[in-house]
Chains A and B, each alone.
Chain A
Amino acid sequence: MSYIAKPKVAHPKLPRNRHGLTYRDYEGVVSTLCAGCGHDSVTAAIVQALFELEVEPHGLAKMSGIGCSSKTPAYFLSASHGFNSVHGRMPSVTTGANAANREMTYIGISGDGDSLSIGMGQFAHAIRRNLNMAYLIENNGVYGLTKGQFSASADVGSKAKKGVENVQPPIDPVSVAMTLGATFVARSFSGDKRQLVPLLKAALSHHGFALLDIISPCVTFNDHEGSTKSYAWSREHVQQVVHADYIAPAREITAEYAAGEALEGDMHDGSQLLLRKVDKDYDPSDRPAALEYVQRHNASGEVLTGLLYIDESKGDMHDLAGTTKTPLRDLPYSTLNPGSDKLAEIQKTWR
């Protein structure tokens, strides 16, 4: 077999959540990515976020497309169903799964190639539907599995490992998502777990489409001097604008914010977000202003991170369509079958 299962041995003193599960129960098989890959840090943050959120493993569906990023759902939560679909098409499969069962929690893991090139159309339309899912882009500016071609998120002037300079403008998933009406837009850095974990929790709790763009350096093909998606460059240019703290439902709020500095946000599931703004003029509920702020900083080479935009008031795909609350796949045939009398009645007008 070409995969390595992780032995499920947990230290008896490891803390357990309300399902009696430890952190280890949220892990998957051993990663086959390169040592030091940013994606593995993201996986570790996902494991921690899911454990702390006390997600029931079988209530979560792990969705992905193709690429290094899309392999990662195998590396967490072995007790969840996963769907490793085709390149750039994870959003459609997730749309269908969600259409059939609106009760599951959906996490989609994509990359910059999977989302911003081959999958740009599906990415855009999942946002328009406000599909209820957490959508992660593990963004490294490069095609890893095919060995080092520029992706659509590569910055102008960024150098490939072989020295070629990128001349085409990048697609910024954060700006795209804001423009298309996404209801949760955040960015983080794989090397900043303290920021990433609360953002992941918030994204998973958001009712609607939550984009989390994560700068995740490729140690093999895009971590050299001249790259703008390297660890070194990211550490130097990443600027946190809004720090989010996630507070689970029914937990006491003990955050240490001064009044006026913190913004409270009620999430759909009863949890709360506490946002600490670095720039007091930044308002993550004002879409045009937030977009302007992000783009101004993009232009100056700064990578803004944090929860950049949120709107908890919009309905998701099912709310907009008026679908029944019961997952469609659970409706019995007796409910779905209109019966013989109706069949005869319909055909009266066919004569």
Chain B
Amino acid sequence: MQSVNDVVIKIATVNGSGSASANGLLLKALFRMGIPVCGKNYFPSNIQGLPTWYEIRVTGAGYRAAAGRVDVLVAMNAQTYTQDLAAVEPGGWLIYDSTWPRSRQLVRDDVNIIGVPLSRICNENFSGARARVLMKNICYVGVLAALLDIDLQVIEQLLTETFASKPKLIDSNLQAIKLGYDYAREHFECPLPVRVERMDQTAGQVLVDGNTAAGLGCVYAGATVGAWYPITPSTSLMDAFQSFCERLRVDPDTGEKNYCIVQAEDELAAIGMVLGAAWMGARAFTPTSGPGVSLMNEFLGFAYYAEVPVVLFNVQRTGPSTGMPTRTQQSDILSSAFASHGDTRHVLLFPADPAECFAFAPAAFDLAETLQTPVIVLSDLDIGMNDWMVPELTMDPDYQPKRGKVLSAEALEELEKFHRYLDVDGDGVPYRTLPGVSGKGAYFTRGSGHNKYGGYTEDSDEYQDVMERLTFKWEQMRHQVPAPEVIAHDEAEVAIVSVGSCDGAVREAIDRLAEQGLTGSYLRVRAFPFTATVADFIDNHQHVFVVEQNRDAQLRSLLSIDLEVDLNRLHPILHYNGMPITATDVAEPILAALRAGKAA
């Protein structure tokens, strides 16, 4: 095994042991050396004491998916020695704490086992149980720096910035790193045949997780009301919104907050609060995950029918039921698209990375208010909680929120009479009024049968009239939602349609197919309803592989429902074990299908 800037490092620890800062330090140091990286956290649904892993893919080629392999494993957790050793590629390396005699579990002929007495080193140099544990983590960063040739000066600079207000910590951390570094240099041939070297591929890029980016996006979208009920993996989205608001939305003179965050009693209440605030004219949102969306169904149907602009972030996790809360999936596509009873459908936005999580926040509010309907941003745990390299987030300096058709008191004065659900402009979107503006704009918002004037009805024709306008409005939305991303080649042997966090794996798979002489076309849907481009793409290719992360081919079904595509032309490629999808998960089934002649 030999490579430069193409190595996967996996660190196995126990959760609650403080390894996150060490892993972050490592990721950032590589990034600052100009080398593209992906950081993925594989953690248990637990607070302390269970196995957890952090994986860094160093990828000079700039790939963005999980690699699906481990080259260098830092085994800090004896509980998982066996599975950790088994995960290492033949010819790879495993580093373990050799303070104690080597475990009999750590024997494999085709893996290089490296022992570093991390505990002994730290016990000899630091005092206090907590400090010793923390320094042990920092110490392995030093070992890896020596083994992989990571620039110590970069690490030193990062530590100086991180602990700017606590200089004592800089010294102790640096000491731990140097201890590890020197030990490795003394005892092993450094660097290893897999190593890193400076590049210039990270200029203009940042490292961020999707939930942080989405929370910041809501601040820049002008959201003022956030209601939520804590649920993994969406909690950090509201945490981010809150901390950005504390920093950016507090009046410096009065200390008053220009936002209101309500931690609700449950998701039923969280979405109810969003409806109330949106009805009142604030930009309001709730972040949640699958089980939360299940609870929100009744209100989502209400918002669809009464035309209340709500924004919901669904950071998907592995279902069904409680499922695996700390594992990823894209299995809420159908349940989000049609959330609620009756004929209901919702606009969905599908971000592929944190940059789109940020950009789709203002887009979601603009669409919700322009179209007066719920908009659900379907992120997932992989995007939401992992560290992604994305272009620096930017906001159009001229951005102004699109608040849709809201009548002012003056506009109401000029009207003879206001009717809430009348299609005045012929575009399917009626005018709305906000409470507290004018008595002339008053109407009774209800989920029960209503006619186009906003009055209660049980009359068949009046009911159907409103339902037909809602269908017409839905059709208009196709032209307003974000367009898909398309890489099209004439004469492509393989056509792939995919969504969200599959993007990195699909792009990498297309490169692998190219190595086999196969040209691939690719379309990534970014919104539901689907645009004409999606229909054209499918029409232009004989056989299309639909890549997604769920068992039941939900995107494929949705394409078929919305575009009336023949299902036989859409070949499902499904990955749903809870781990992020890799290029292998995409390329191998496609190659197998081609070999079998199924989709040629």
Instruction: Give residues in A with beta carbon < 8 Å to B.
Output: 1-3, 57-59, 61, 73-74, 78-86, 89, 91-101, 103-104, 121-122, 124-125, 129, 317-318, 321-325, 327-329, 331, 333, 335-338, 340, 342-344, 346-347, 349-351
Contact = CB atoms under 8 A, between A and B. Distances in A.
Contacts of A328: 224-225, 258-260, 282
B278 to A, nearest CB: 7
Contacts of B439: 57-58, 79-80
Given A57-B442, A82-B445, A96-B225, A122 B435 contact: no
B265 interface: yes
Contact of B397 (A97, A125, A340): A340
29 contacts: A1-B459, A2-B455, A61-B435, A79-B440, A81-B435, A81-B436, A81-B442, A83-B444, A85-B272, A89-B272, A89-B298, A95-B262, A96-B272, A97-B277, A97-B435, A99-B227, A99-B276, A99-B277, A101-B281, A103-B436, A124-B265, A328-B260, A333-B222, A338-B219, A338-B248, A338-B249, A343-B393, A347-B393, A350-B208
A86 B302 contact: yes
B322 interface: no
Contact of A125 (B225, B265, B393, B451): B265
A104 B206 contact: no
Contact of B442 (A80, A333, A343): A80
A84 B442 contact: no
Contact of B256 (A92, A93, A99, A325): A325
Contacts of A83: 276, 279, 444-446
A324 B282 contact: no
Nearest to A335: B258
Contacts of A103: 436
Contacts of B133: none
B294 to A, nearest CB: 15
A225 to B, nearest CB: 35
Contacts of B31: 351
Interface string B413-456: 00000000000000000000111111111111111100100011
**Which 3 pairs, one residue from A and one from B, show the smallest C-beta to C-beta distance?**
A96-B276, A92-B272, A79-B439
B457 interface: yes
Contact of B446 (A1, A84, A94, A125): A84
A164 B448 CA distance: 32
Contacts of A98: 276
Nearest to B254: A324
Contact of B257 (A1, A81, A322): A322
B225 to A, nearest CB: 5
B394 A79 contact: no
Given A61-B280, A98-B276, 5 more contacts: A96-B275, A99-B262, A125-B269, A329-B282, A336-B258
B200 interface: no
Interface of B: 28, 31-32, 161, 202, 205-208, 216, 219-220, 222, 224-225, 227, 244, 248-249, 251, 254-262, 264-266, 268-282, 284, 298-299, 302, 392-395, 397, 399-401, 433-448, 451, 455-459, 462
Nearest to A346: B216
A347 B202 CA distance: 14
B442 A2 contact: no
A61 B447 CA distance: 17
Contact of B281 (A93, A100, A333): A100
A97 B276 contact: yes
B257 A323 contact: yes
B436 A333 contact: no
A335 B255 CA distance: 14
Nearest to B224: A328
A324 B455 contact: no
Nearest to A80: B442
Given A81-B435, A103-B436, A340-B394, A58 B442 contact: yes
A89 B225 contact: no
Contact of A333 (B401, B446, B455): B401
B246 to A, nearest CB: 11
A100 B256 contact: no
A78 B442 CA distance: 7
A100 B208 CA distance: 30
Nearest to A102: B260
A149 to B, nearest CB: 21
Contacts of B275: 85, 93, 96
A71 B392 CA distance: 52
Contact of B206 (A99, A337, A347): A347
Contact of B269 (A81, A92, A327, A337): A92
Nearest to B400: A333
A321 B260 contact: yes
Among A58, A92, A327, A343, residue most surrounded by chain B Cβ atoms (within 10 Å): A92
B282 A100 contact: yes
A100 B278 CA distance: 8
A331 B258 contact: yes
Given A84-B446, A340-B395, A122 B269 contact: yes
A121 B270 CA distance: 12
A344 to B, nearest CB: 8
Nearest to A89: B272
Contacts of A2: 455-459
Nearest to B162: A349
Contacts of B436: 58-59, 61, 81, 101, 103-104, 327
B444 A94 contact: no
B411 to A, nearest CB: 15
Specify which of A95, A100, A344 lies most central, judged by the most chain B CB atoms within 10 Å of its CB.
Answer: A100
A58 B409 CA distance: 11
Given A99-B277, A350-B208, A329 B444 contact: no
Kindly name the residue among B256, B258, B442, B458 whose own CB sees the greatest number of chain A CB atoms within 10 A. B442
B276 A92 contact: yes
